[in-house]
Chain A
Amino acid sequence: MNPSNYVVLSAVLFSIGAIGVLVRRNAIIVFMSVELMLNAANLAFVAFARMNGNLDGQVVAFFVMVVAASEVVVGLAIIVTIFRTRRSASIDEPNLLKY
């Protein structure tokens, strides 16, 4: 099977994730969208690894997962902290850093 199918799927998922980031206001859903984008990238890596016949792409995908896990942990902690003070998980609320 042509690996371009996987890569196209990856691109579609990535774009859906990007739209999610841009459109949704709930910080947690935004985070989920980011995770989706990362997963899409991972899929591309895996497909490329198979296409090129070496495992480096899989190792990179593995590292991406680790980094994504770290990011989720810290990001969710930040969301919790913000929620604690502002009683809201909307990412439009903290907009004081502006003109």
Chain B
Amino acid sequence: MTELMPAEGVFSLIWVLIALPLAGAAILLFGGRRTNSWGPYLGVLTVAASGVIGVLMLLGMMQNSPEQRTYGQTLFTWVFSGSFQADMAFQLDQLSIIFVLLITIVGTLIHVYSLGYMAHDDNRRKFFGELNLFVAAMLLLVLANNYLLLYVGWEGVGLASYLLISFWQHKPSAAAAGKKAFIINRVGDVGLSLAIMLMFVTFGSVGFQDVFGVADQASEGTLTAIGLLLLLAACGKSAQFPLQSWLLDAMEGPTPVSALIHAATMVTAGVYLIVRSNVIFTAAEWAAVAVIVVGLITMWMGAIIGSAKDDIKKSLAGSTMSQIGYMITAAGLGPIGYVFAIFHLLTHGVFKAGLFLGAGSVMHGMNDNVNMRRYGALRGVMVITAGTFIICYLAIIGIPPFDGFFSKDDIIHASFERSPIIGILAMLAAGLTGFYMTRMVAMTFFGKARWEDDAHPHESPKVMTIPLIILAIGATFLGMALVYWGNIESWLEPVTGVETVELALPSWVYELTTLVLVLIGAAIAWVSYARRDVPVEAPHGSWLTRAAREELYGNQVNDALVVQPTYYTSRLLVWFDNKGVDGFVNGSAAFVGGLSGRLRRYQTGFARSYALSMVGGAVLVVLALVLVRMS
């Protein structure tokens, strides 16, 4: 493992990165109504300041040699009990800084956007406070130098996610969605906590450096168990199969929340966890295979769901699941894929944030209507939104030179290196991406206007469009910049290791095939949804469409496998309690009562009856005495 560099200069400010948004959250959430007027701006400023510090750290990091880019900072001993020790300590390396920049910069843009989007909401202050809380927790997650501290951040983002999904808690659906997200996340969290305990038992420590330093000494079975538990955690947080069902409901939250938490940052925490624990997954081969399987399944589930949903946000959510499936798949491929997973995560964070914010802008102009069948022909009235949305669209389907092309093709290449089956599945999913994203763009911005009567589409204010423009610029150039100028592979190499991709065929064959598949998918969608009229009411559709609209029956499966059995178990226990326990208690009481009712008949009130009993007793006593004496 690389030596930790002392945190000096700008790197002594690592804790400030977290403290700033945390302070913002504290001031906004505890400050009360006094902070109503300036609170949102404070929220933006704290995140932006963290972003500036992050950029300065990146610049400082680049001045050192690649082996000297890992910085450690220990604030104090947090937990100390017997042989167990966990410090409030941070580790900033090439991986962390990418996340820091993604979180703070995209976070800043989304904060700014929210200034416009949430302008008319009474609870703006609470919203910005919770957004700041989320940013702080997410930064803690990526900066922690041990799993226990990471767990704190992990739970913190879960809490923020819950609070923000049910931000409009007056809507029962939003409140239910928040609870659903929280509960399903708990399943994953249990996996993480078990993994941490297992690590402590196995390695005697939960620090990254300690664990990774001795990981190869543990048995493969233990490592596989840790890996699978970490995968469970990642599945919960990143909405991967089988814990995927909360993400679509999470779209009940405000759109900036969907963009920041449920597209760009939090849901990628699972990818971060796997990449961060790459040592374990490299050593535990079967855990890595499980990661690939989960990634592929989710990749396809998300794409299929995204192809059928008419709700623009839920369609985007399906797309997010699918894209994170790509990242997870890549993370399961081993050193060859870690880099590309992070690369795709980065580009996805930018263009998916752009897409979500664009969708939010469309909804803003359409009275918060999310039904794409009620959109159409919006490119004329929302020029900037349409333009940026289409740029991000080109990025996600992977049209060169937009950044999705670079990251996604890299993943496909790596998949083919590993196995043609994985590669072909990933490639076909890319074609499906082309289909559903084109469907979305066509239904929203092209074709005929199918607006509702009271809809008066209009472009959003500058405070919302400027972040869109910045994100679109990022979606255009980030990929090129990272490949040709930044060279992300060598940048991440000290953390994740790198393998050169060696393919059977020249790489342009794969790129061209992918591109052709994407274009075919896009063409089908264009013919179906732009050239033909889109019915306002959804047609019945094939069984696959209906299944996809039902989110591939994920909720039904959960309901059947978990909710109903629990419900029936509870019913059974209640029944047992009523009939069994209460029955026994009440039955014994009734037995005693009934017996007493019969026995009391012998209390006749006649003194002579009682005297008779006494004489009977006396006879018995005499009989006993006589028998004893006579024997």
Contacts and interface: CB of A to CB of B under 8 A. Distances in A.
A–B interface present (Cβ within 8 A): yes
Interface of A: 18, 21-22, 25, 91-92, 94-99
B590 interface: no
Interface in B282-314: none
Given A18-B615, A22-B612, A22-B615, A98 B603 contact: yes
B611 interface: yes
A97 B608 contact: no
A91 B615 contact: no
Nearest to A97: B605
A96 B608 CA distance: 14
A63 B601 CA distance: 39
Contact of A98 (B605, B608, B611, B612): B605
Contacts of B600: 99
A21 B601 contact: no
B606 A95 contact: yes
Contacts of B603: 98-99
A2 to B, nearest CB: 19
A30 B605 CA distance: 17
Interface of B: 600-601, 603-608, 611-612, 615
A99 B600 CA distance: 6
Say what secondary structure dominates the interface of chain A: loop
A95 B608 CA distance: 10
Nearest to A99: B600
B605 A95 contact: yes
B605 to A, nearest CB: 3
Contacts of B615: 18, 22
A91 B612 contact: no
Contacts of B608: 21-22, 25, 91-92
B478 to A, nearest CB: 94
A99 B602 CA distance: 8
B629 to A, nearest CB: 15
Contacts of B607: 91-92, 94-95
A46 B456 CA distance: 125
B611 A96 contact: no
B604 A21 contact: no
A22 B611 contact: yes
Contacts of B601: 99
A20 to B, nearest CB: 11
- Nearest 3 interchain pairs by C-beta: A98-B605, A95-B605, A99-B600
A36 B163 CA distance: 94
10 contacts: A21-B608, A22-B611, A22-B612, A91-B608, A92-B606, A94-B607, A97-B605, A98-B603, A98-B604, A99-B600
Contacts of A21: 608, 611
B618 to A, nearest CB: 8
Nearest to B607: A91
A90 B578 CA distance: 53
Nearest to A21: B611
A30 B244 CA distance: 92
Nearest to A15: B615
